[in-house]
Every structure is written in structure tokens, then in C-alpha cells.
Amino acid sequence: MPSIANSTGPLPAPSSMIAIADPRADAMNNHAALLSAIDRVLTAGQYILGEEVASFEQEWAQYLGTAYCIGVANGTDAVALALKAAGVRPGDEVITVSHTAVATVAAIELIGAVPVFVDIDPDTRCLDPAAIPSILSPRTRAIVPVHIYGQPAPMEQICAVANRYGLKIVEDCAQAHGAEINGRKVGTFGNAAAFSFYPTKNLGALGDAGAVVTTDPVLAEAVRALRQYGWQDRYISATTGGNSRLDEMQAAILRVRLPHLDARNERRRAIAQRHGAALKGTGVRLPAAIPNTLHAMHLFVIESEERDGLAQHLRRSGIATGRHYPMPVHRQPAYDGRCRGADQLPYTDALYRHMLTIPCHPDLTEEQIEHIGQSLQAWSEPPVASGTAGVPWIRRVQT
Ligand SMILES: *Cc1c(COP(=O)(O)O)cnc(C)c1O
């Protein structure tokens, strides 16, 4: 049993805790390069939609292996504008998961569309394509799969269902920069994909930033217009739009960081591997290894029978943990009781009670990784109470 009762004394001060993310550490890694990028923007004198944005758009599209990238203000707008450009209209239904950042669902409602929930697969923790057919209605127009925690959703199956029923797909890639399925980057499977470059994401700016990517030139043009008042030419609005521009400063910063993305993702995966090894034999359920996918390991999320006890055990060792998210979207006050599909989410409902996020970011020091490993190793799950032993998402054989 864990030694919670033996760990006496005050809890470490939050500032000395090992954190889930450390955006400052990464800023300090590249201090000089970031300053020189910022200086380049200052000196160039163009601060909105200039050369830095154009270059980043090109570099990000090239990295992913897609045709078009349109920089926007944030990831929420990226989802919303991609859906709108894909033809989703007010009142249309968009199928997504409740096990996601609330931003996914907020984006759907931002354009007047209606979110409809399907359950997750307990292994990928992503949208279960088999759940789609039974929730379809005449208003269903699109699917938003979320590559949650950096684990790719099963895009081949999701695309097959979308093709069969004539639905558009916008991938939410906000947690999955660089994740792959069979060597192909996520973000290249749907009609369009949305990225967030919020500072703690795998590729992060020093403020808000986002992007839509697509291989469809018509959809790309539509997003380009939507991000700036519907302009076709300067001051001439061919359609209506708003303002969701990516600024030069953030684009320049992203260009400094992009060349480091693959190595940093590799380090995330290596740390996750070590956490996994430390947890062997503790009874804690690890993220499943899904064949043919490359995990971006945005978050390392385990499942525990006694999640709160494990969190407290780690906290006493100076290790912060997180819950992503404390409750699924359909249980949050703003959405509770008004979303179709919310009554059929057993895996979503089970997962949020058991999941715990352990620090796995690439700026962890060797010493911190060791310390986390030792603390994880010292834990053991309580015995399974009879009656819960058959619960399918806990204590399965690890792949
Ligand atoms: C972060 C995130 C978003 C939203 O991105 P912002 O840039 O914060 O608007 C959307 N979806 C998911 C899954 C995210 O993690």
C-alpha cells in the first residue's frame, strides 16, 4: 500500500513542485534565438500578416506534408473557421467527443452549430468510429475527432464512416503536433485540421496562436477570407468574416521552435517510457500502445483505482499532477443536460474518474525524471474490490 500515512510534514511549496508543463524553461532554452526573432519583427516594422506569418505557414504545411496552412489567432478559432469553411452552417450537427478540452465544443457552438457526443474507445481514449452511425440525424454535417493527449484517433475508420455518410472531417490536432498514423502526420487525414500553439502545447508560441491546414484550395481560401473580415482584396469584403489573424511576433517565435519539435516529441516519448517502466507492477493502467501510431505524448495520462490517493502520494514527493479534464464537457455546468448523446458515454464517464496526468514534458531534468520514477515505483494500487473486477477499462493486460 502507498505510504501516505507515513509521509508527514508540510507539503512542498507549489513553486518547488515538478510541474505538468514548464513553458518558461523552454523559453530560456532558446533565449537568444527568441530575442533575435523578436528583434527581426521589431525591425521589419510589419506586425500583422507579413513575411513571418507567410513563412511559418509554408514551413508548417511542409512539416505536415499538406498543401495549405492558414495562421489564425488561436486553436478554438481554428476549429470554428475550419468547420465554417467546410460548409457547416448554423443548426447543423457536428459529432465530437465529450472527453476533450472544452474549446473543441465551444468552437462548434461559436459558429452556431450543434455539438453531438459519441463515446471514446477506452484504449485510444479518442472518438470511437463505431459509435457514429447510431447517432446520425438528417442535420449531421461533420465530425471533429480529437487526437487527445497526442494519441492519434483512428482516422482510417473515421474517414470511412465520413465517406459513407457524406460528412466532413475537421481534426482537432491541438495536442498532437507531429503525431503520426503509419508514418503520415495527423492533420492530413480530414478535410481540414486545427492546431493550437498555446504556450504549453507541443509546439507553443509566447501567446495565443493557431492554424488551419488543408489540402483543399477552396477551403483554404475560405479560411483566409474568414480570418480577416471576409476580405477578398484589401478593404473589399466578398463574404462576411471576423478577425482571427496570427501576428508576426508569434509566427517568428514558432519558426524558432519548429526545428526542435521532433526532438522534443522524442524526449516526451522517452520520458513516458521510463514512467511506464517505473509503474510496472503497481497495477496502474498505462496509456495503451496503439499499433502503427506515433504518439506526440502531449500529456502522459494513467488510470488508477485510487486516483486521488496517487495524486496525494506524488504531491507529497513534490510532483504536481493534473486532471485533463476534471469532468467531461457534457457534465460541465454550461453543457449539462443539453447535448445529444450525453447519456451514452460510459467510457467517457469512467475515464474521468480514474485518469491522472503525470509530468512528462521535455524540459524535465534527469534528476526530476529519476525522482518521478522512484515516486511512481513506490505506489501500489489498492486491491480490486469484488464487483469492480470486471470493469473493462481498468487493469487490463497491457499491450
Ligand atoms: C488547447 C486546445 C484547444 C484550443 O486551443 P486554444 O489555442 O486555447 O484556443 C482545442 N482543442 C484541444 C483538444 C486543445 O487541447
pLDDT digits (tens, 9 = 90+) for 83-109: 999 999 999 999 999 999 999 999 999
Element (H, E) at 252: helix 248-257
Confidence of residue 15 (pLDDT cuts 50, 70, 90): low
Q: What is the DSSP string of 121-183?
A: PTTT-SB-GGGSGGG--TTEEEE--B-GGGPPP-HHHHHHHHHHHT-EEEEE-TT-TT-EETT
DSSP label at residue 259 = G
Q: 3 pLDDT exceeds 90? A: no
User: Which of helix, strand or coil describes residue 356?
Assistant: strand
Question: Per residue in 275-290, pLDDT tens?
Answer: 999 999 999 999 999 9
| Cβ atoms of 120 and 127 closer than 8 Å | yes
Statement: residue 396 has pLDDT above 50: no
For the chain, domains (ranges, CATH) are: 4-19+260-377 (3.90.1150.10), 27-259 (3.40.640.10)
Best probe residue, ligand 1, of 173, 198, 212 (max atoms within 8 Å of C-beta): 198
Residue 205 has pLDDT above 80, yes or no: yes
Query: What separation in Å is there between the alpha carbon of 76 and the centre of ligand 1?
Result: 6
pLDDT at 1 over 60: no
Confidence of residue 388 (pLDDT cuts 50, 70, 90): very low
pLDDT(165) > 80: yes
175 CB less than 6 Å from ligand 1?
yes
Q: What is the DSSP letter of 16?
A: G
pLDDT mean across residues, the chain? 93
Rounded CA separation 215/31 (Å): 35
Q: Is the pLDDT of residue 381 over 60?
A: yes
Q: What residue type is 70 in one-letter code?
A: I
Backbone angles phi, psi at 183, to 5 degrees: 80, 0
Query: Measured in angstroms, how far is the CA atom of residue 162 from the centroid of ligand 1?
Result: 23
CA atoms of 97 and 146, how far apart (whole Å): 7
pLDDT for position 237: 92
The mean-pLDDT minimum among 42-51, 205-214, 228-237, 325-334 falls in 228-237
Per the document, the length of the chain is 399
Q: Does residue 178's CB lie within 6 angstroms of at least one atom of ligand 1?
A: no
Q: What is the mean pLDDT of residues 171-197?
A: 98
The model's pTM is 0.94
Distances (CA, A) of 131 to 96, 144, 201, 343, 399: 11, 13, 29, 13, 23
Q: Residue 80: is its pLDDT beyond 80?
A: yes
For a mutational test of ligand 1's pocket, the pick from 83, 196, 324, 325, i.e. the residue with the most ligand atoms closer than 8 A to its C-beta, is 196
* pLDDT score, position 13: 59
User: Do β-strands 68-72 and 210-214 pair in parallel, antiparallel, or remain unpaired?
Assistant: antiparallel
Q: CA-to-CA distance for 170 and 153, rounded, in angstroms?
A: 12
- Cα separations in angstroms, 29 against 204, 225, 240: 13, 36, 42
pLDDT digits (tens, 9 = 90+) for 331-369: 999 999 999 999 999 999 999 999 999 999 999 999 999
Q: In this structure, what DSSP letter does residue 30 have?
A: T
Task: Count CB atoms within 10 A of the CB of residue 202.
Answer: 26
Q: Which of 79, 108, 172, 246 is the best mutation target for the ligand 1 pocket, counting ligand atoms within 8 Å of the beta carbon and taking the most?
A: 172
Mean pLDDT of 12-35: 89
Average pLDDT (144-148) is 98
Which residue's CA is the nearest one to ligand 1's atom 2? 174
Q: Is 75 in the pocket of ligand 1 (CB under 6 A)?
A: yes
Cell of 206: 509566447
Q: How confident is the model at residue 322 (pLDDT cuts 50, 70, 90)?
A: very high
150 CB within 6 A, ligand 1 = no
